[in-house]
Structure 1
Amino acid sequence: MPFQQAGAAEVLRASQKDESFLDYLKSCISEIVQRSAGTRVWLDIHKHTEILCEFVYYSLTTLCLRQTLGEEYTGVLQVDRTRGRLPNTLERVIMVVLKCFGPEVIRRLLSKLEDSARSGKLSTYLRPELKNVILQQMPTLRYSLTLLHRIHLATFYFTGAFYHISKRVTGIKYVLVREWLGDSSASKSFQVLGTVLLTHILLTTMYAVYTHLFVKPPPENTQPSAKCYVDSKKQCSLCLDERKYSCVTPCGHLFCWQCIQECLQTSQQCPLCRHPATPAQVVPLLNYD
């Protein structure tokens, strides 16, 4: 007899618990690398280190047929589509690889495609007209991926299954090990949240289509004023002006020294990527252009 399927509340709590533990693990490794090898080395490898942390964590748990800390905390267990047996080895490997490496691979492929189109490397294989179409449609393609993820999340709120796209691809679901731990009263709240999210997706999509079809972009100024133009490479993301006394956070983002110090007094995380950061971890960059 198959177990009872876990609800959205249990799955979401398990995922949040895993993310909390992974954030703590990443911060510990970040501190070790910075103290032993320096900030410059950490800036070069921190992205790879974070992905490697996730892969090692899920390799020692999911790939070894063990519960993660979040799954153990909420009393859920991964099963296959039939909810009658544990996922086989191939399903678990595909799920872990997609979860850990999928977003980064897609991001790099899109960036590589855009860079190749801009640099003219695709001219050998594509006509100039098609290359221009690719460049023009890159924002739409990125938005479509974001839209797909939001629709997937809204579907999860209604069904309570497949919080991660990697699990939807492999068909891995969650069941309750102890049914009395389930929170059936939360299902209606999640359905309301799914309805709100779908409404927001519909309205934003309609607005984007309307803007694309009927709103003409402003004419480009071929000679921008030097007073109002700031090079994006030298711009601070907080004050939107040219950076003064540049400094770098542990995640590698650049800000004005005063801007980021004031920001971290309110919330000790990077304002761009939400990576944990304290005022003491911000490193000033001397003679940096």
Structure 2
Amino acid sequence: MPLELLSFPPAQQPQIIRSHQRDFFQVSALREQADGVLRAWLGTRWLSRWDKEVELCTKLLYFGLTVGRATQTLGEEYTDIWIHSMHSEGVPPWRARAALVLLPTLPSYALARWGSYLAPTSRLTSLVRKLPTLLEIISEVNLAMFYFRGTYYDLVKRMLGIRYVNLGNSSRPKYEAAFVFSSGYLLAVRLLHRLVSFIRSSYKADVEATERKGKRPVDDHEEIYIDDRPISTMIGRVDPDEVPPLTAEEDERTVLDFSQMPPTVRGSRNCTLCLEERTATTSTECGHLFCWDCIVGWGREKAECPLCRQSLNLTSLLPIYNL
């Protein structure tokens, strides 16, 4: 097999791009099916809590059963291309294939899942929070290089020296070549704009720091209170399995008289996340109502409303005691 692969020409940019688009579509479809099954079996609340683990397992399953087994992905099969190691001059060895499966998924999962557990004021936390942006910029630089040179679509393949070879006889139309090069130029302009914006923001921060010299220092972590309760205690991380569920009558943050409330009205007070009667009713900026603990737990994992997908900011949640 290695000797045979050497006789094939390198894959072209449009083939590689279409292959990755096809794989992205297949992974998304697999994820939607997994979400539907798990939501039916375990409920929406469980799915929102383990959302990142489901996404990780979906990607590992798809790429493990294709790349990990030294076979084509559905996208590669669709465009008739194959991965080729520049070091072994053939199909990548199992270690390289394992790296192709694990490196694009595990680091991003670890940063997203465990980064929020670090102390908010430590230098390590600041570094961890900057890593996704740094990786995004490096990935965009690598992608711009791919558009111009046609090699190494992502960083992992560049590190491992893995390219694509063309198993078919497809040729690149002129309009596709123009599209690829124009995409490269547009990405280069975007990177230049990000660099200029970063320089401007750094300069502005230096100017503001200079103006603050000699003034009374302000505590950046000054506590905020809602009804004499520190907000840090309200949005602090709580394990739902360790806290016994409260009924609406026992909830101190609900001032409704349930004895005077018709059953039909109480039936409309269910939270769409836990599917139980709301406690500590809380409104998002878009106006949807949830339990306080449910929406805070959701917001730590996804910064969007569960219903309308509008951006969600935990500091903008509004407790409502009479709904």
Q: TM-score, normalized by length of structure 2?
A: 0.62
Contact 2:303–2:311, Cα closer than 8 Å, also in 1: no
Give me the whole-angstrom Cα distance separating, in 2, the residues matched to 1:185 and 1:49: 39
Alignment of 1:200-239 (within 5 A): 200-215=190-205, 216-217=207-208, 236=284, 239=286
Aligned to 2:44: 39
Contact 1:6–1:76, Cα closer than 8 Å, also in 2: yes
Q: Deviations over 1:191-216 (max 9, x none)?
A: 22212211221222122122212454
Give me the whole-angstrom Cα distance separating, in 1, the residues matched to 2:52 and 2:106: 11
Greater relative contact order (Cα < 8 A, sep 6+): 1
SS in structure 1 at match of 2:105 = helix
How far the C-alpha of 1:189 sits from its partner, in A, is: 2.3
Give me the whole-angstrom Cα distance separating, in 1, the residues matched to 2:124 and 2:64: 38
Give me the whole-angstrom Cα distance separating, in 1, the residues matched to 2:28 and 2:44: 19
Contact 2:67–2:100, Cα closer than 8 Å, also in 1: no
Q: Deviations over 1:140-164 (max 9, x none)?
A: 5543232212212211211222222
Give me the whole-angstrom Cα distance separating, in 1, the residues matched to 2:88 and 2:7: 5
Give me the whole-angstrom Cα distance separating, in 1, the residues matched to 2:186 and 2:157: 24
Aligned to 1:10: 15
Q: Which of 187, 199, 205 is the matching residue for 1:197? A: 187
Gaps of 5+ in 1: 119-130, 264-269, 274-286
Q: Deviations over 1:128-183 (max 9, x none)?
A: xxx5x666666655432322122122112112222222212211111111022545
Give me the whole-angstrom Cα distance separating, in 2, the residues matched to 1:272 and 1:181: 43
Aligned to 1:150: 140
Change (3 A) 1:255 1:207: closer
Question: How well do the aligned residues superpose, as a CA RMSD in angstroms?
Answer: 3.8
SS in structure 2 at match of 1:61 = coil
Aligned to 1:188: 178
Give me the whole-angstrom Cα distance separating, in 2, the residues matched to 1:46 and 1:155: 33
How far the C-alpha of 1:253 sits from its partner, in A, is: 4.5
Q: Counting helix residues as a fraction of each chain, which structure ranks higher?
A: 1
Aligned partner letter, 2:153: Y
How far the C-alpha of 1:91 sits from its partner, in A, is: 0.8
Q: Count residues with an aligned counterpart.
A: 243
Give me the whole-angstrom Cα distance separating, in 2, the residues matched to 1:91 and 1:137: 28
Give me the whole-angstrom Cα distance separating, in 1, the residues matched to 2:125 and 2:302: 26
Give me the whole-angstrom Cα distance separating, in 2, the residues matched to 1:82 and 1:22: 29
Gaps of 5+ in 2: 1-5, 226-230, 236-281, 313-320
The sequence identity of aligned pairs, in percent, is: 21
Q: Which of 111, 116, 121 is the matching residue for 2:119? A: 116
Q: TM-score, normalized by length of structure 1?
A: 0.69
How far the C-alpha of 1:19 sits from its partner, in A, is: 1.2
